[in-house]
Amino acid sequence: MRFYLDLSFVPGPQINEILDVINLIPHRLIGSQEINSVAIPQYVEFEFSGSINDFEDDLRLSLEKNSILDYVVTRDSLKENTLTLLKTGDLGQLGIYFCDFCGAFFNSEEGKYIHERAHYFY
Ligand SMILES: [Zn+2]
């Protein structure tokens, strides 16, 4: 399956460290995009043999093994098959709210609330 990884919340100096971690996971890189005219990839497109859940787990494990503990892996609620890496310390500052059930994130408390209600119907 084809997935996307949004690294735009990762500060420049740490991107290479994060990319090293991603390279430990077997996958095939399809392409990357540079955002904000910085010469580092911030939006990576790749192919992975498992599901997005498998990749999410692998990425978490890989980050832990490399003692990168200040990042959380989360699903982008707006884009399909997209994972985002967020720095835990920045969450409040960015105004990001997490679903208590599935970890999807939202830009507003209202968005989170509306989304969370959907979980009650399953
Ligand atoms: Zn949810």
Q: Where are the domains of the chain?
A: 2-91
Q: How far is the CA of 106 from the centre of ligand 1 (A)?
A: 10
The whole-model pTM stands at 0.69
What CA–CA distance (Å, rounded) separates 25 from 112?
Answer: 31
Rounded distance from Cα 21 to ligand 1 centre (Å): 27
Q: How far is the CA of 111 from the centre of ligand 1 (A)?
A: 11
Q: Determine the Cα–Cα distance for residues 43 and 35; give it in Å rounded to an integer.
A: 8
Distance CA 48, CA 43 (A): 16
**How do the pLDDT tens digits run along the chain, 122 residues long?**
889 998 888 887 788 888 888 888 888 888 776 655 455 667 888 899 999 889 999 999 999 999 888 888 988 878 889 998 888 766 666 777 888 788 788 888 888 889 999 898 75
Q: What is the CATH number of domain 2-91?
A: 3.30.1360
CA of 16 to the centre of ligand 1 (A): 30
